[in-house]
């Protein structure tokens, strides 16, 4: 026998109780459909020796489009990209107000203007961690659940689906 769901409005009326439960389920389904759930976070990570502990969105954009090429202490900024276009990558570039194809176009433009090669794109979060941890001045992004103590987290961005 199915357990009866407790009624919050009228203990004596099963009809009303069932009707209210339906309403709750509908409201829940409605909210579940239209509210973007927070699944995870993108962590903006950097080499442990970079001279900042947090970063503004505008600075992050300047690094990734190549407008700023050095950290405050003069170390060259080395950026890393993710190869696969998944939620983490989409969220990160959307946060910067770009699409990943527009970023590619900016990097190609920079290359053809003699500003240097596009960033190295890594395949896995593990690779991103290793590259950022071992490259002075490095900055990249990763699903926050993979972050460990080998890198510094400068910012977190919620992933919305």
Q: Which one of 9-17, 19-27, 107-115, 151-159 is the stretch in contact with other proteins (CB under 8 A)? A: 107-115
**Is 112 an interacting residue with respect to other proteins (CB under 8 A)?**
yes
Q: Which of 114, 116, 4, 9 is nearest to 64 (CA)?
A: 116
**Is 32 an interacting residue with respect to other proteins (CB under 8 A)?**
no
Strands 78-82 and 38-47: what pairing?
Answer: unpaired
Give 4 or 109: the residue with its C-beta nearer to other proteins. 109
> Which residue has 């009624």 as its token pair?
7
Give 121 or 130: the residue with its C-beta nearer to other proteins. 121
Q: Which one of 21-29, 62-70, 137-145, 153-161 is the stretch in contact with other proteins (CB under 8 A)? A: 62-70
CB of 76 to other proteins, least distance (A): 10
Distance of alpha carbon 70 from alpha carbon 159, whole angstroms:
28
**Is 68 an interacting residue with respect to other proteins (CB under 8 A)?**
yes
Distance of alpha carbon 44 from alpha carbon 140, whole angstroms:
6
Give 7 or 69: the residue with its C-beta nearer to other proteins. 69
Q: How many CA atoms, within 13 angstroms, populate the side-chain half-sphere of residue 61?
A: 11
Q: Which one of 21-29, 35-43, 93-101, 139-147 is the stretch in contact with other proteins (CB under 8 A)? A: 93-101
Q: Which one of 10-18, 109-117, 125-133, 134-142 is the stretch in contact with other proteins (CB under 8 A)? A: 109-117
Distance of alpha carbon 60 from alpha carbon 15, whole angstroms:
57
Q: 84 and 122 in contact (C-beta within 8 Å)?
A: no
């Amino acid at each position: 026998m199915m357990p009866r769901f407790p009624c919050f409005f009228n203990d004596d009326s099963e009809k009303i109780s069932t009707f209210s439960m339906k309403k709750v389920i509908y409201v829940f389904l409605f909210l579940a459909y239209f509210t973007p759930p927070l699944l995870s976070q993108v962590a903006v990570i950097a080499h442990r020796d970079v001279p900042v502990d947090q970063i503004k969105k505008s600075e992050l954009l300047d690094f990734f489009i190549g407008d700023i090429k050095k950290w405050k202490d003069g170390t060259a900024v080395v950026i890393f990209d993710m190869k696969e276009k998944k939620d983490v990558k989409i969220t990160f570039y959307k946060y910067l107000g770009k699409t990943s194809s527009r970023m590619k176009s900016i990097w190609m433009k920079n290359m053809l203007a003699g500003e240097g090669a596009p960033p190295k794109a890594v395949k896995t979060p593990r690779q991103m961690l290793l590259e950022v941890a071992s490259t002075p001045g490095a900055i990249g992004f990763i699903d926050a659940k993979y972050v460990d103590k080998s890198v510094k987290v400068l910012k977190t961005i919620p992933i919305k689906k």
